[in-house]
Every structure is written in structure tokens, then in C-alpha cells.
């Protein structure tokens, strides 16, 4: 990127002479925001709140031009047809990386440094620069949360994979440490790939990770801390006898990766599971060990699902059926269910299912085979992959990490100099009210970032209108919103299409209604997060929670999707959402975390002080009343660890 780029037109409220704010040190533009928002709010009252009769309310989210066709949810690209593709990096090596093809020869949008800089997040974990993918071996040790991650120290694209390392006291503010492991042995010469940590009862820590060997065979390796008295766990020793596991007979040499955290049975043996495939059936194998060096492969599989392809980053853990605390990985009794998660290499989606673990024959059986692993529930219906949980013994909770890839092009990533982030760590609990899904929720520590807040009570959003929310700048937010719906006197009663429709502009009787995040004042860019309620003639009501990226950016090369999934709304519940806005990520939780969507968006105008927040209601048959509490969020402190001062 040319740092002297002159094509950039300063945004309202942005002082071009002030330069670009440093990526990890943003503060809300408070003074500007108050003035700007007040003016815009008054203008908006005149121009934007449109009242019409219930018969023909206007469409508050303009439709896309006809050529920009979108498919039904969950995910459909709205980008122009790509003209030149290359094989995504990593695929040839039997592993996933950036899944979108990139435009090798096409000019990208005329991005400015200020636009690129704005895209960097303020409170999501990102390395200082370059490429990151899967979270690895998360653990809590001697007062520090440790996060390792798949990291290319040389470039903003996948390759030369090492283990990056950072520590935190609260999983929000992070300190980068030196690389934990690099590909320096024959058994990981082509990459130190994904793995998990197990803390043994005697305090030892075992890390099992996949190495891609000098011959690109996937093997499992053991590593352990050089010095257990070091709370930072700076140095790691790779076991001299590595690899401890090679692909068993019948398993492809590039289809054997990502060992889980181990759990121990009453027989004193540890178990791990590793994902693979046989033809197109996704599988998970179980190994037992007593010393993490010698292993026995169990006859039969923990589980398999035909047609789901290679299972990457399998995760397996118990959840309490009625409790409110997370469980250590080895807990197994009548009060628990077990979650099996696989990251599907073919679709790049993370699927989980709820079921029962039978340790006597090392099998797991789903509660409902129609929503088995890979064909039913997802952790996140947006851009999300390669997740991993760990048990946080510090606060007795299970924490879920997930990798959020970019949806721009590799070309843009190389210009920016970085790619990917991790979600806000989420607590995971079984939803005892529905009994059919997990609840994910941002860790409570994020609340320490809260600054000032605004509250709005029962704001009427009539069918076909938008309502601006006067909150100042809207790039770092923690939004809580509750919607109540009020039926209009209309002939319409049945909503024909299901799912998220064709995006937020696709009107139906009972939706969509929601918020417009990262919108500019003229609504030329916006990211709707919304509910869409559908019913049928026989009275079944289904609610979908969705995000529509199709108008999120004017940059044509950015991939844009309509994302979403079904969300249970129980009798007496309002339609509730929590939305974290952090520059280029909009992370949305419906009904207390039953359905979650992470969206990456790259606005060109709705940035810095021009980013605003609206309510919208594009239903034809209901008015909605919205009650909100919205906090501005501070930036997290994410910097190198001052090791020279220790």
C-alpha cells in the first residue's frame, strides 16, 4: 500500500492531518461523535423515519441491483463472478487455510491506509501482524491464560506454520510472547499444526500436536514445558521420540490430524480422539495411553457420519445438564451430556451435536440422529472455523475459542499485512430450557471494557421504517436489544419463505426486523442483524436469526453473504440479541446465545466517526418495539510482553 496515497477523501469528523489511529489503540471519537450524531439525528428525524400505512410500507433496506443475486441462507456469495481463481493455500498439503479463492490479477478496491487501518479490531485477539488460523492448546496456568495459535511469522497468507503464543490475565488484554514452537524437526518440518493441551493431576502439561513431516505426512507429536515453574511457559521441548502416532492402516497420510485434549477413564487410562475420513465419511478415532508416548488405537470409532468428509479439529467434552458451571474434560456421569464437534474441511463449517458418551465401548451416540455432527447444529452461522474449547479451572467454566477468517481477498490481506482474528472467548453451557442446543456467551471479562452507555425504551419501529439511534460513533459497541412485536391489522398472516430470506431487503409479514450496524448516514452501507419469523398454515412458527452482508461494503471484491440459522424462541420470550461491533467484525448472539453469527465486513464509508447504528423493521405485517442498552467499548491492551523488564 502506498503510504502517500492521495486518493483518500477524509471522512466527516476525521482530521486527515492527524493521520491514521494506530491499530490497537483506538479510542472513540467522543467529542466529534456527540456533535455529529446530534446533527445527524435531527436530519434523520426529518428524512429517515418514514411512516406509511400498513398496506405498503417502504422497504427500509434497499434491494441489491438485479445482477447481484443472492441465494437462500446459510451462505451464498454475492461477489461478482471471480475471473481468475487459484487453489486456496494449504489445500494441496491436505489442510484448510484461506478458503476463498483470490483475485490474482484483478485490481482491488481503491483502499486507503485509513480504511485498512480501521479494519483492524480493537478488542478481538489478533497477532501483531501476518497470518493466523486455528486456536491451539488454550489453558490456564499459574494465573495466566495461554493462547497458542497457528501463525505464519513471515506473511499474511497461510504457510510456514508455527505456534504463536500470547498470555492474558483475563482473556481480553493480551501480551504477545515469542513463538512457542517452530517447524525445526523432520517430524514437523512442513508445519507445527493444530493441537491441544492436557493438564495432568500432578501439574504436568502435555501438548499433542500434528506435525506435517518433511514428506508431508501428518503425524502426532508430544511437547511439554521446559520449566513448569515458569508461569509464562516460554520454552517447549519436543519429545525426542516423536512422532508418537503415525497414520494407522486405512487412513490417508494427509488425513490424520488435530488431537484433542485427553480425558481419563476409571481404568486410569487417558483417551484422545483424532479426526479423519474414510472415503467421504467423516470419522473420529480413539486412542488410549498411560504416558502420552505409547498409544493403543481402539477398535471401532468414537463416531462417524457419512458424507461429511474430513473432520478437522475434533473437540469432545462434557456439559452439565442442569448446572451453570463448565466441566473438566474427564467428567462423565448421569448429569452430563457430551458434545462432539468437527470442523468440516469440505465446507469450512464447525458443526456440533449433543449426545451420550459410552466409555465402555468408546462410542458417542447423538441425542437426535437427524441433527448429527455435520448435518445439524453449528457453533456459529457466520465466518467461523477450527474452534477449540478448554476447561478454565480458574473460574470453573468451559471456554470456546474460534478462528474468524477474512472475507476479503488475499491481495487485500497482503496489502494490510495481516489476516484473521479470534472470536471473543465464549462460555459454553447446555441450554437446559430447550434441551436441544448449547448457549454461548462472551466471557464476563469483556464488560470491563465498557465505557458510557445509552438506553432506549420501547422505541416504536413501524413497518417499513428505520430509526437512527443517537449513540455517537458506532465502531466499538456492546449492544443489548429486545424486540416485541405488535400485529398489524392486515390480511397477511402466513409468511411463505423460510430461513433468512434473500437478505434484509426480502420482506415478509413478520420480518425482518433488527439493527443496522456499521451504517453510514445515507444507508449506502449497512450490515443488518435481524430476526425473521416464519409461520405456516398449520400454525408452526419458526424464527431465524440472520446477518446480511450484501450492502456492508462498496468494495466489489469482498465476499458478502447472507448468514443465519434457526433460533428457538420460547413462550413468553422477547426476541433478544446481543451484538458486539468491533470494526470489521460484527459478532451477534440471539436468545442468550442459542444462535450465534460472526460476520466480517469491510465498509468504505461507514467507518470511524461516520459509522452509525439504526433500528429497522422491514416486516409488512408487524410494528416492533425495541428496548436497548448500548455500551461504547474501550480498546483492549494487546502488546508484546515486556520480557526485558521481567
Catalytic residues: 134
The CA-CA-CA angle for residues 411, 406, 577, to 5°, reads 155
Interface residue with ligand DQQ among 76, 114, 115, 161 (CB under 6 A) is 161
Place of cell 468414537: 302
**194 lines the binding site for ligand DQQ (CB under 6 A):** yes
Binding residues for ligand DQQ, how many (CB under 6 A)? 16
Closer to ligand DQQ by Cβ: residue 131 or 530:
131
The least CB distance from residue 599 to ligand DQQ, in Å, is 19
**587 lines the binding site for ligand DQQ (CB under 6 A):** no
Closer to ligand DQQ by Cβ: residue 242 or 527:
242
| Partners of 219 in beta bridges | 211
Interface residue with ligand DQQ among 60, 126, 130, 133 (CB under 6 A) is 133
Q: State phi, psi for 257 to the nearest 5 degrees.
A: -155, 165
Euclidean distance between CA atoms 582 and 602, whole angstroms: 11
**313 lines the binding site for ligand DQQ (CB under 6 A):** yes
The least CB distance from residue 89 to ligand DQQ, in Å, is 10
CA distances from 255 to 15, 32, 163, 214, 412 (A): 53, 54, 21, 16, 31
Euclidean distance between CA atoms 330 and 352, whole angstroms: 19
Interface residue with ligand DQQ among 312, 372, 478, 566 (CB under 6 A) is 312
> Would you list the DSSP string of 254-282?
TS-B-PPPPEE-TTS-EEEEEEEEETTEE
**221 lines the binding site for ligand DQQ (CB under 6 A):** no
Q: 40 to 99, contacts with ligand DQQ by CB under 6 A?
A: 95-96
Closer to ligand DQQ by Cβ: residue 23 or 127:
127
Place of cell 486507503: 112
Are the CB atoms for 388 and 315 separated by under 8 Å? yes
Instruction: Give the residue among 134, 103, 129 at the shortest CA–CA distance from 419.
Output: 129
Closer to ligand DQQ by Cβ: residue 257 or 416:
257
Three cell numbers at 7? 486518493
The least CB distance from residue 88 to ligand DQQ, in Å, is 11
Euclidean distance between CA atoms 221 and 207, whole angstroms: 8
Q: Which helix (H) or strand (E) holds 415?
A: helix 410-416
Interface residue with ligand DQQ among 115, 125, 134, 274 (CB under 6 A) is 134
Euclidean distance between CA atoms 245 and 218, whole angstroms: 9
Closer to ligand DQQ by Cβ: residue 192 or 481:
192
Euclidean distance between CA atoms 574 and 483, whole angstroms: 6
Closer to ligand DQQ by Cβ: residue 40 or 95:
95
The least CB distance from residue 156 to ligand DQQ, in Å, is 15
The least CB distance from residue 610 to ligand DQQ, in Å, is 35
Residues 6+ apart with CB under 8 A from 329: 198, 261, 262, 263, 316, 317, 318, 391
Residues 6+ apart with CB under 8 A from 304: 278, 281, 282, 283, 284
Interface residue with ligand DQQ among 386, 523, 526, 611 (CB under 6 A) is 386
**543 lines the binding site for ligand DQQ (CB under 6 A):** no
Q: 327 to 356, contacts with ligand DQQ by CB under 6 A?
A: 343
Interface residue with ligand DQQ among 150, 332, 407, 547 (CB under 6 A) is 150
**582 lines the binding site for ligand DQQ (CB under 6 A):** no
Closer to ligand DQQ by Cβ: residue 93 or 566:
93
CA distances from 497 to 1, 59, 202, 570, 616 (A): 45, 17, 57, 21, 20
**384 lines the binding site for ligand DQQ (CB under 6 A):** no
The gap from C-alpha 272 to its chain's centroid, in whole angstroms, comes to: 25
User: What does the per-residue mask of binding to ligand DQQ show for 394-423, with x meaning CB under 6 A?
Assistant: ------------------------------
**210 lines the binding site for ligand DQQ (CB under 6 A):** yes
Order of strands across the sheet with 622-633? Answer: 450-461, 622-633, 476-487, 575-582, 585-590, 595-600
The least CB distance from residue 419 to ligand DQQ, in Å, is 13
Residues 6+ apart with CB under 8 A from 435: none
The least CB distance from residue 183 to ligand DQQ, in Å, is 11
Three cell numbers at 235? 520454552
User: What does the per-residue mask of binding to ligand DQQ show for 234-273, with x meaning CB under 6 A?
Assistant: -----------------------xx---------------
The least CB distance from residue 188 to ligand DQQ, in Å, is 11
The least CB distance from residue 195 to ligand DQQ, in Å, is 8
For 46, how many CA atoms within 13 A lie in the half-sphere containing its CB?
Answer: 5
For 603, how many CA atoms within 13 A lie in the half-sphere containing its CB?
Answer: 33
The least CB distance from residue 207 to ligand DQQ, in Å, is 13
**193 lines the binding site for ligand DQQ (CB under 6 A):** yes
Closer to ligand DQQ by Cβ: residue 26 or 98:
98
The CA-CA-CA angle for residues 190, 195, 198, to 5°, reads 145
Euclidean distance between CA atoms 44 and 467, whole angstroms: 8
Closer to ligand DQQ by Cβ: residue 342 or 630:
342
Closer to ligand DQQ by Cβ: residue 95 or 400:
95
Applying CB under 6 A, which residues contact ligand DQQ?
A: 95-96, 133-134, 150, 161, 193-194, 210, 257-258, 312-313, 343, 385-386
Amino acid at each position: 500500500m502506498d503510504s502517500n496515497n492521495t486518493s483518500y477523501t477524509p471522512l466527516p469528523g476525521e482530521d486527515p492531518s492527524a493521520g491514521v489511529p494506530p491499530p490497537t489503540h483506538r479510542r472513540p471519537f467522543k467529542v466529534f461523535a456527540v456533535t455529529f450524531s446530534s446533527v445527524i439525528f435531527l436530519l434523520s428525524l426529518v428524512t429517515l423515519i418514514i411512516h406509511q400505512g400498513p398496506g405498503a410500507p417502504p422497504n427500509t433496506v434497499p434491494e441489491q441491483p438485479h445482477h447481484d443475486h443472492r441465494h437462500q441462507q446459510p451462505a451464498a456469495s454475492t461477489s461478482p463472478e471471480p475471473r481468475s481463481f487459484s487453489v486456496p493455500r494449504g489445500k494441496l498439503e491436505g489442510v484448510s487455510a484461506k478458503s476463498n479463492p483470490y483475485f490474482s490479477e484483478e485490481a482491488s478496491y481503491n483502499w486507503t491506509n485509513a480504511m485498512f487501518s480501521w479494519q483492524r479490531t480493537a478488542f478481538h485477539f489478533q497477532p501483531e501482524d501476518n497470518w493466523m488460523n486455528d486456536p491451539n492448546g488454550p489453558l490456564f496456568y499459574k494465573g495466566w491464560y495461554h493462547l497458542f495459535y497457528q501463525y505464519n511469522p513471515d506473511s499474511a497468507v497461510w504457510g510456514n506454520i508455527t505456534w504463536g503464543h500470547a498470555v492474558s490475565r483475563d482473556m481480553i488484554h493480551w501480551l504477545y510472547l515469542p513463538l512457542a514452537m517452530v517447524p525445526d524437526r523432520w517430524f514437523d518440518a512442513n508445519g507445527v499444526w493444530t493441537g491441544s493441551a492436557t493438564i495432568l493431576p500432578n501439574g504436568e502439561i502435555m501438548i499433542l500436536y500434528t506435525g506435517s513431516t518433511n514428506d508431508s505426512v501428518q503425524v502426532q507429536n508430544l511437547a511439554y514445558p521446559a520449566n513448569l515453574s515458569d508461569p509464562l511457559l516460554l520454552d517447549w521441548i519436543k519429545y525426542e521420540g516423536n512422532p508418537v502416532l503415525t497414520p494407522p492402516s486405512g487412513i490417508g497420510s494427509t488425513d490424520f490430524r488435530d488431537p484433542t485434549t485427553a480425558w481419563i477413564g476409571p481404568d486410569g487410562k487417558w483417551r484422545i480422539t483424532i479426526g479423519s475420513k474414510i472415503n467421504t465419511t467423516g470419522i473420529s478415532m480413539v486412542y488410549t495411553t498411560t504416558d502420552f508416548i505409547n498409544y493403543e488405537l481402539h477398535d471401532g470409532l468414537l463416531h462417524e457420519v457419512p458424507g461429511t468428509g474430513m473432520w478437522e479439529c475434533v473437540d469432545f467434552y462434557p456439559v452439565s445438564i442442569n448446572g451453570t458451571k463448565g466441566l473438566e474434560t474427564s467428567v462423565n456421569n448421569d448429569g452430563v451430556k457430551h458434545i462432539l464437534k468437527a470442523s468440516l474441511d469440505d465446507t469450512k463449517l464447525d458443526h456440533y451435536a449433543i449426545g451420550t458418551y459410552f466409555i465402555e465401548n468408546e462410542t458417542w451416540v447423538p441425542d437426535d440422529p437427524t441433527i448429527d455432527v455435520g448435518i445439524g447444529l453449528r457453533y456459529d452461522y457466520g465466518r467461523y472455523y477450527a474452534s477449540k474449547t478448554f476447561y478454565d479451572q480458574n473460574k470453573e467454566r468451559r471456554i470456546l475459542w474460534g478462528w474468524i477468517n477474512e472475507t476479503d481477498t488475499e491481495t487485500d490481506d497482503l496489502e494490510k499485512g495481516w489476516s484473521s482474528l479470534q472470536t471473543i472467548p465464549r462460555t459454553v453451557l447446555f441450554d437446559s430450557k430447550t434441551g436441544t442446543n448449547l448457549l454461548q456467551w462472551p466471557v464476563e471479562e469483556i464488560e470491563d471494557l465498557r465505557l458510557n452507555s445509552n438506553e432506549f425504551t420501547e422505541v416504536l419501529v413501524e413497518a417499513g421504517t428505520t430509526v437512527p439511534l443517537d449513540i455517537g460513533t458506532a465502531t466499538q459497541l456492546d449492544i443489548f436489544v429486545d424486540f416485541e412485536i405488535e400485529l398489524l391489522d392486515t390480511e397477511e398472516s402466513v409468511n411463505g419463505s423460510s430461513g433468512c430470506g434473500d437478505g434484509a431487503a426480502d420482506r415478509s409479514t413478520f420480518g425482518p426486523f433488527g439493527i443496522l450496524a456499521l451504517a453510514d448516514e445515507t444507508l449506502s452501507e449497512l450490515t443488518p442483524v435481524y430476526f425473521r419469523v416464519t409461520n405456516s398454515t398449520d400454525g408452526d412458527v419458526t424464527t431465524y436469526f440472520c446477518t446480511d452482508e450484501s450492502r456492508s461494503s462498496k468494495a466489489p471484491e469482498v465476499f458478502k453473504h447472507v448468514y443465519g440459522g434457526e433460533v428457538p424462541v420460547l413462550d413468553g420470550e422477547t426476541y433478544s440479541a446481543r451484538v458486539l461491533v468491533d470494526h470489521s467484525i460484527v459478532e451477534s448472539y440471539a436468545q442468550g446465545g442459542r444462535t450465534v453469527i460472526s460476520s466480517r465486513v469491510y465498509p468504505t464509508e461507514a467507518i470511524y466517526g461516520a459509522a452509525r447504528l439504526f433500528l429497522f423493521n422491514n416486516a409488512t405485517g408487524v410494528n416492533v418495539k425495541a428496548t436497548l442498552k448500548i455500551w461504547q467499548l474501550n480498546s483492549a491492551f494487546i502488546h508484546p510482553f515486556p520480557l526485558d523488564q521481567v
